[in-house]
Every structure is written in C-alpha cells, then in structure tokens.
Amino acid sequence: MAQTVRGFRDIMEPDAAAFAELEARCRALFRLYGYGEIRLPTVEQRELFVKSTGDTTDIVEKEMYAFEDAGGRMLALRPEGTPGVARAYIENGLPAKDLRQKLFYIGSMFRAERPQAGRYREFEQIGAEYIGNPDPSADAETMVLLAALLKSAGVKEIRLEINSIGCPQCRPAYKQALLDYLKANLDSLCDNCKKRVERNPLRALDCKTDGPKLAAGAPPMKYCPDCDAHFAQVREHLKNAPLAFNVNPNLVRGLDYYTRTVFEFRAAGIGSQDAIAAGGRYDTLIKSMGGPDVAAVGWAMGADRVLAAAASGERAAPKPEVFVAAADKTAAPKAFQILQFLRGEGLRADAAAFSQSLKSQMRAANKSGARFAAIIGEREAAEGTVTLKDLAPGGQEKTVSPREAADLARRQLQDGLKAS
Ligand SMILES: [Zn+2]
Ligand SMILES: [Zn+2]
C-alpha cells in the first residue's frame, strides 16, 4: 500500500480549513500594514542558504534537503523564506523602483528534523520582510504586526522575548570575549557546543542545555553607541505600542545574517518553550548577496504551532447547508439545475448520485450534516418547485419555488446562528 514519506503528512479537514482560515486572517492583516505578497519558488540554489542562513547552522548543516539535479546543479528545497525573499528583491530589480519594500510569503518549508510529535519535515511558514527601513520603529512595527496576527489567530497568551546581538562593529569583540570564556569552561559544555564553539560561540547561548548556565557567568554584550541607541529606541517604541516584552540576553537566534534586534514569540500551552514565531534585523544580508546596502527586518511563524497554540475546542469541517436529492431519474436534470442555483445564491449545497434511490440520497443527506434537503420529484420537476425539508429533529417541509427555498433556508440558518 502506498504511504507518505516519513516526516511528511496529509492535511485533512478540519485542519485544512483551519490553515486556510489562518492564511486568510494573515493576508487581511498584511494588507492593513502595507505588505504585498511574494510567492517564492520551492527550489533554490543550495549556495543561497549556505551563504545566507549559514553553513554552521543546524538548518544548513544537518536538516536541508540538498540534491543534485540531472543537469548537475546543486539545489535545495527551501528550509526558510528570508534568503529567497532577499534574492527575489535583488533579482527583480525592486531597489530601482523603491528601496523600501514590504513583502510577505506563505508556503511550505522543508527541514529533515528528527520526526517527533507535532513536527514535520514539510511545514508551513508565514513570514514578513520589511526591507529598506533602518529605523527602530520598523523593528517595533514588525513585532506589533506579528502580535496582531497571533491575537487574530486566537493565540491567547503570548510572550515576546527580545535581545540585540550587535553589529559588525561591536560583535567581534564580544564574540572573542565569549569564546575566551567558553574555552576556559569547555568541560561544562554539552558535546554539541564543544564541537561548534570555535566556529559559532554565540550558539552556546541559545543551547537548551548550556544556555541557562551561561546566562549567569558569560561576559555581557557591549554594544557600540549606535547599537545601544537602536535597541533603546526599539524598546521605547514597544512600550508606546504598547506591546509587552522581556529582554532576554541569552536570545541570539541561530542564523548568521541577524544583526541587532532579534526576537521570539512564545505561547503558553504548546508544551515546550519553543518559539511559535521568531525574527530579527538583517542589515548586512542583502549587500552580502550582491544587492544594495539596505537594512531589513523580518520574521517567520510556524503555522502548525500557531494553530496548536490557538486550538480551542473541537474544529469542525464545513458541512453543506442544503443537500439536493432527485426522487426519480426524470427529476435529475432539474435537481442538477437547482443544485447550481442554490450555490449561486451563496448556500453551501451538495448532492450524491441522483441515480440512487431517494432513500439512499436521504441517508447521504443526513450523513453530510446538512441542515436541509431539497427534494425534486416528478411533481416538483413539472411545477418548477422544490420541497425543502428541515432535517433537524421535528423539522417541517414545504414545497416552494427555488428562490423561496433559498430564502427560507438562509433565514433559518441565520436564526440558528443567532440562537447558538
Ligand atoms: Zn554595534
Ligand atoms: Zn550546548
């Protein structure tokens, strides 16, 4: 029997409807904040992620689906969205139109992580990139937008953690001080950190094992005056928004391209302390890729984790509102016509095989969860009417014109909504 690949899955109703609903809410809010959509290719050059995300990151080193195609090109399934957006910004000549661009994307990312509950190797990310605004208000705005999205998605308790990891002026000295400290305390580090400490000492700070210990002893970050002022203004804007936050000196985010502000949103109730959304400023990435010297800030959120954090009660798959049935074969053409008429009236309408017995069709109507059946028999077909039967217990039936049937169904469905 054919099966999905390990770590991959089918998304079925009602989850599929929940994804669609989340995406719709996000699209509406993105428009409100002035973002345009970008639909990125799934496959990019492998080099794009090696050079931007960074070859010492777990994402690129261990988790990326990289492969050689028949033409000998080294390619990768995108593990994240930001490098593709930066590439697209340069490649499509957007800087010539306006350096300042606000772009959002929605799509699957691929990472060969160890399969575990709630983690998949293909997962949906929704992301935003604000390119061309170096101002601290841009950092704050992206976080405020993200908070609004999470709230709109129904995530109740969010915690925002922020930090600044400095810039190419002030970070090298800090990195060296941290490396000296870590080397002096090498024995206390986990095996993973021991191996990567030389290549990427910052990563030890967000290591789940070592991070908490290091918080107390590691040397503090010393910002240059510009970074210091930038971070102070970001915090000021967040206070004025107002958006509550916590400064977490251990938060470094694993990716190479971040400069200055980094942030994570965490949610209560999804077990781990993992972020449901995260991002930061990346003022040097676009220039390093051959583009203009332009600042940027952005984030990505995991749709699965947002939905898990927002889940309240049972999710329900959408049911038809009216189920159309033909009482005999001669009524089938009319029944088919009425089915389309009801949909045209904005009612969710469905039907089974008109060639089945009426009894079978009524069984299908009940199974579908529809509130009404619209039955067309010989008499109805001749008169141009329809018998609308309320399938709720004790429901009535009435033979009326198709338009009256649509109005009647709509009215009762609305009353039902008001009552519940
Ligand atoms: Zn700096
Ligand atoms: Zn560690």
- Flag whether pLDDT at 316 surpasses 80: no
- Residue 261 Cα distances to 29, 147, 168, 292, 416, angstroms: 23, 16, 13, 21, 49
Q: Where in the chain is the domain with CATH 3.40.50.800?
A: 322-413
Convert the pLDDT of each residue in 54-98 to its tens digit: 887 888 888 999 999 999 999 999 999 999 999 999 999 999 999
- Least confident among 157-166, 202-211, 227-236, 337-346: 202-211
How far does CA 416 lie from the centroid of its chain?
A: 33
Point out the ligand nearest to the CA of residue 259: 1
At 140, which amino acid appears?
Answer: A
Distances from the Cα of 341 to the Cα of 182, 369, 402, angstroms: 72, 20, 8
Q: What is the mean pLDDT of residues 185-189?
A: 89
| pLDDT, mean of residues 29-41 | 98
In this structure, which ligand is nearest to the CA of 227? Answer: 1
* Summary mean pLDDT of the chain: 92
pLDDT average, residue stretch 407-412: 95
Over residues 93-104, mean pLDDT = 97
Percent of the chain residues past pLDDT 90, beyond the cut: 76
CATH number, span 322-413:
3.40.50.800
Of 303, 373, 318, 294, nearest to 119 by C-alpha is 303
CATH 3.30.930.10 maps onto the chain at 15-170+221-310
Which ligand is closest in space to the CA of residue 194?
A: 2
Alpha carbon of 294 to ligand 1 centroid (Å) = 16
Return the axis-axis angle of helices 136-152 and 15-32, rounded to nearest 10°.
Answer: 140
What is the predicted pLDDT for the residue at 167? 94
Strands 122-131 and 296-302: antiparallel
pLDDT at 294: 98
Q: What is the pLDDT of residue 153?
A: 93
Q: Which ligand is nearest to the CA of 224?
A: 1
> What pLDDT was estimated at residue 409?
96
Say if residues 77 and 43 touch (Cβ distance below 8 Å).
yes
Q: Alpha-carbon Rg of the chain, whole angstroms?
A: 28
CA neighbor of 86 nearest in space, from 298, 302, 279: 298
Structure tokens at 338: 């009425």
Residue 280 CA to ligand 1 center (angstroms) comes to 15
How long a stretch of residues is the chain? 420
CA distance linking residue 36 with residue 43, whole number of Å: 21
Ligand showing the shortest atom-to-Cα distance for residue 260 = 1
End-to-end CA distance of the chain: 44
Percentage above 70 pLDDT, the chain: 97
Q: How far is the CA of 181 from the centre of ligand 1 (A)?
A: 21
Closest ligand relative to 200 C-alpha: 2
For the beta carbon of residue 226, count every other beta carbon within 10 angstroms. 13
Q: What are residue 400's phi and psi, to 5 degrees? A: -140, 180
The token duo for 271 is: 């077990």
pTM above 0.95, yes or no: no
Structure-block tokens of residue 143: 């976080």
pLDDT classification of 32: cutoffs 50, 70, 90: very high
pLDDT, tens digit, 9 for 90 and up, residues 248-306: 988 888 777 899 999 999 987 665 557 899 999 999 999 999 999 999 999 999 999 99
pLDDT digits (tens, 9 = 90+) for 211-245: 888 877 888 889 999 999 999 999 999 999 999 99
Residues less than 5 Å from ion ligand 2, measured at CB: 190, 193, 207, 209-210
pLDDT of residue 273: 59
Would you give the distance in Å from CA 79 to the centre of its chain?
14
The pLDDT assigned to 420 comes to 56
**CATH assignment of 15-170+221-310?**
3.30.930.10
What burial class does residue 210 get, using C-beta atoms within 10 Å of its C-beta: 0-12 exposed, 13-18 middle, 19+ buried?
buried
Report the alpha-carbon distance of residue 267 to residue 153 in Å, rounded.
12
Q: CA angle at residue 205 from 139 to 273, to 5 degrees?
A: 70
Give me ligand 1 centre to Cα 170, in Å: 4
Which candidate, 46, 251, 38, places its Cα nearest to that of 129? 38
